[in-house]
Homo-oligomer: A and B are copies of this chain.
């Protein structure tokens, strides 16, 4: 069965995935030159950098995601379909999806990344992640449910497990989550749970390398280490997590009793199932400097799922929103160039800097020629993240929420909407 898309007299570009790369590409593409079909398994674009605030009751999902149909409202020769791609036939230039088949002239894979559990199945089974909106909402419910459960038990050892949180991976996501949990502990939970001794709550941040924020400058690592310490977070460097059964995390540095292990320790590319040729070690599709996939015709890959062969000794660019956005935009221009019979331009990454935040008034910013931290960095972080959100309404709602939390020391949204049931052996002990 063919997908229900009109056949018109223009070459068809099919884009899979509407993260930053897919979004910027389609905004750039010339709709007089191409028919564009976008496929995504969700009907919304997600602003991943703020996902941790959904998990910690700071923001509602609606303010960090944006309906895809609304983004491209009025774009000519554009069709969005909510679909999951199952496989691709590059010889026949056809995609197979759960809602039918679709032929393409050019295919762009912008399928992003998924969590890398490094093959440890128990962590995948018992741990929590924040890679999608649904996962973040699940984590929010779990954090709140744990405190309800801690109240209901008089077994002090079991109660402690509910009040211990282990975060694995001290990248930006891990730090931001740890910082927000520490502020929940300080400002919110003692008021919500007067029956519990919230001082017992422990936050452990576990990192395999020898510093926090290993992707940023030494200065950022030092500063954020101090910020984390001030917030009372226990930091374990040079520590590997080996196993987790839902109760006890076994690490190279001893055991941690916890009902909640959050895994932010790594991601790998998420290519389409049968495209397993030309992948690098991180499961990313290897491309040339124009993001064209090596070895197949008229297929491109952009963003986290792509690794440009000439970059980083074959590892590709860092998996960042800014890289994805720039690659999408560049490929859009290149496709327009093809249609006009012009030359494509190779992708060159313009590194405008990276940043991370660790609780109120604390952030670190690495610009190419200047590094700073503290209150000014924090306001910079907030301002830039507001501006990067898609849609004025989202910016307004997030701004109102942030002002509210800042002035009132309060996260408004402590609602257990999804009752998550993962196999948790803590209860049955």
Which residues of A are interface residues toward B (Cβ below 8 A)? 3-4, 6, 42-44, 60-62, 65, 67, 69-70, 73-74, 79, 81-82, 99-100, 133-134, 137, 144, 148, 151-154, 191-193, 195, 391, 393-394, 396-397, 400-401, 404, 412-417
Contacts and interface: CB of A to CB of B under 8 A. Distances in A.
A57 to B, nearest CB: 9
A412 B3 CA distance: 28
A414 B70 contact: yes
B412 A193 contact: no
B404 A400 contact: no
Nearest to A100: B152
A393 to B, nearest CB: 5
Given A4-B151, A4-B152, A152-B100, A82 B414 contact: no
16 contacts: A3-B152, A42-B416, A43-B416, A44-B415, A61-B417, A62-B413, A62-B415, A67-B415, A69-B193, A70-B414, A73-B191, A81-B151, A82-B416, A100-B152, A394-B412, A397-B401
A412 B82 CA distance: 18
Nearest to A415: B44
A228 B208 CA distance: 63
Given A6-B195, A60-B60, 13 more contacts: A62-B413, A67-B192, A67-B415, A69-B191, A69-B414, A70-B414, A73-B192, A81-B148, A81-B152, A99-B152, A391-B412, A396-B400, A400-B400
Contacts of A394: 412
B144 A43 contact: yes
Contacts of A401: 397
A99 B153 CA distance: 9
A414 B195 contact: no
Contacts of A400: 396-397, 400
Nearest to A159: B4
Given A67-B192, A73-B192, A82-B148, A61 B415 contact: yes
A3 to B, nearest CB: 7
Closest 10 CB pairs of A and B: A69-B192, A67-B414, A62-B413, A82-B148, A60-B62, A99-B152, A60-B60, A44-B415, A43-B416, A393-B412
B192 A70 contact: yes
A133 B151 CA distance: 25
A8 to B, nearest CB: 12
Contacts of A70: 192, 414
B153 A415 contact: no
Contacts of A43: 144, 148, 414-416
Contacts of A192: 67, 69-70, 73
A322 to B, nearest CB: 25
A133 B60 CA distance: 15
Nearest to A155: B4
Contacts of A397: 397, 400-401
A407 B137 CA distance: 31
Nearest to A44: B415
Name which of A151, A154, A394, A404 has the most chain B CB atoms within 10 A of its CB.
A151
Name which of A81, A99, A193, A412 has the most chain B CB atoms within 10 A of its CB.
A412
Contacts of A148: 43, 81-82
A46 to B, nearest CB: 10
B79 A195 contact: yes
